[in-house]
Amino acid sequence: MLRASIGKGIAGLILLGSLTVSGEAAAGRAKLKDWSTIENERFGFLLAYPGSIFTPREGASPEEGQVLVSRDGNARLLVAAFENESEATLEEYRDQLLSENYNGAKIDYAPVKKKWFVVSGTRGEMHFYERVSFTCGGKLINSWALLYPANERRTYDRVVEAIANAANSGKIGDGKIFVSHLEQVVRIRTGESGSGAL
């Protein structure tokens, strides 16, 4: 069976309890301030998010994935990075995610690229946006998803765009990726070497 950690979290949030939906969405642009980051050093994953909107749940560890909750309690930002233990292809993982977690949802945006895909749509009263990236030759899966009330799309669609754009502004300062030949990998904790150490 393929591992779909973050997707299962989204499905659980969709099915669990009703969220109180406020009649007025908070002022979108004014809230996109005070950026914070979640970093998973083990898998080399970093996600910036507006700390003025989301707060991490107490006791959550970036190593195990995190659920952040909007200050009004209406939205959830799920973040995870994990090993692709089943060695699923991007297509297989996407198919499983759609089948198990978004079955019956109205999908309105679903681009697929060589190393990543997005699934976005509405299920019941909730809208979702999930981006999944395959890294390290498909050995690792990095994923983030935003789940929010469909009637607050005007506010939260801006948040989705801001989070997605934070990683790639197209300007100086985005960072660099250095690629070099790697002769060997050793996991320090266990002494394991080779591809098993990844």
The closest of 56, 58, 91 to 70, measured between CA atoms, is 56
3-state DSSP assignment of residue 163 = helix
At 132-185, the pLDDT tens digits run 999 889 999 999 999 999 999 988 999 999 888 875 544 443 333 344 344 566
Q: Which of 37, 34, 58 is nearest to 48 (CA)?
A: 37
Predicted local confidence at residue 1, as pLDDT? 41
How many C-beta atoms surround the C-beta of residue 80 within 10 A?
27
pTM: 0.69
Residues of the chain with pLDDT under 50: 1-30, 169-182
Angle between helices 5-15 and 90-101 (to 10 degrees): 10
- Domain spanning 5-197, CATH architecture: 3-Layer(aba) Sandwich (3.40)
Q: Compute the distance between CA of residue 57 and CA of residue 64 in angstroms, rounded to an integer.
A: 13
